[in-house]
Structure 1
Amino acid sequence: MLSVRSPVTGAVVGLSEVPDPVFARGLVGPGAAVTPAHEPHDVVAPVEGVVVKLQPHAFVIADDEGRGVLVHLGIDTVRLDGAGFETLLDGAGRGQRVAAGTPLLRWNPADAWARGFATTVPVVALDAGEEAVTRAAVGEVTRGERLFQWA
């Protein structure tokens, strides 16, 4: 059982409530999402593992069993071309081993919101079946607290 932790503090929402059909329909996998406060956030790794991909608006961490967890900061924020995001890892980060809770990015959702982007943060168990995600948190969650379990 893998405990996937929240990368940011905020209100937990189901993926079906994310304003993007790819996430809302679970096309990349099941999970949960967090709507963060519109203030600066240090975004942390939700699991211990290796950085597979690190972009200004999203990253994937794979645990030792190869399970990838995607964190996407906002919706369509790739169109910001990195504006409003800061990488906190040295170098590209790819291939770097990180502990759960390691700060990876800095982001202020207020900046994205002011530019017309939704700020919901989907956290997805990549390529997992819907039944793999259990015990999703409800209500408010603090950065680093369990968001869901991956069976």
Structure 2
Amino acid sequence: MSDLNGALRVLSPVSGTALSLDTVPDPVFSQSMVGPGVAVHPEPGQEGGQESQHEAVAPIAGTLVKLHPHAYVVMAADNRRGVLVHLGIDTVQLAGEGFTLLAEEGTEVEAGTPVIRWSPGAVAAAGKPSVVPVVALDGEPGSLSELAAGAVEPGEALFVWE
């Protein structure tokens, strides 16, 4: 969703607790090497236990330009801003196990469109952090405002990208 001044409202792709990106146990994210953002720490026990499946949804409307079992990028309609959602840390090592693609690369999505089904509890059980970095790719330091903190649900605002 864009508002009149061109700011992009980025929504949470998952439920959990929104915290600073510097809480992510990976310097690529914690040091904002790929851009600023917010980390969402899912509650593994939500919705029926450790193995419960969750849908990770598109954080903005746009084109799904990259899609991997553990991560995806949605490019905004302005073709200038892409938002990365990374489901867990080092989850590429799981080779797609525990992740189900619900969309196809190259498709247009609305904010809130389900993209991947996954289990944060299964990620944690595999010894990987289940935190979900949501990153404004190549965003300038200080370009984000209204950063969420505390409990968030899919579709609730995480930050505004100016």
The normalised TM-score by structure 2 is: 0.90
Aligned with 1:77 (options 70, 74, 91): 91
**Where do 5+ consecutive residues of structure 2 fail to align?**
1-6, 45-51
Amino acid corresponding to residue 24 of structure 2 in structure 1: V
SS in 1 for 2:92: helix
Deviations 1:11-51 (A, max 9, x none): 01111110001100000000001001214211100000001
**Residues in 2 aligned to 1:4 and 1:34: alpha-carbon distance in whole angstroms:** 13
Q: Does 1:5 align with 2:11?
A: yes
AA at the equivalent of 1:55 = H
Report Cα offsets for 1:83-135 as digits up to 9, x if no partner: 0000012xxx1211000000000000111111100000000000011111110
1:44 matched to 2:57? The reply is yes
In structure 1, what is the equivalent of residue 47 of structure 2?
Answer: none
2:31 equivalent among 18, 22, 25: 25
Distance 2:12 2:127 in 1: 24
C-alpha separation in 2, matches of 1:16 and 1:136 = 13
Partner of 2:143: 132
The one-letter code of the counterpart of 2:126 is: R
- Cα distance between partner residues in 1 of 2:82 and 2:110: 14
Runs of 4+ in 1 over 3 A off after TM superposition: none
Provide the aligned C-alpha RMSD in A: 0.7
- Segments of 5+ residues of structure 1 without an aligned counterpart are none
Measured in 2, the distance between the counterparts of 1:51 and 1:22 equals 22
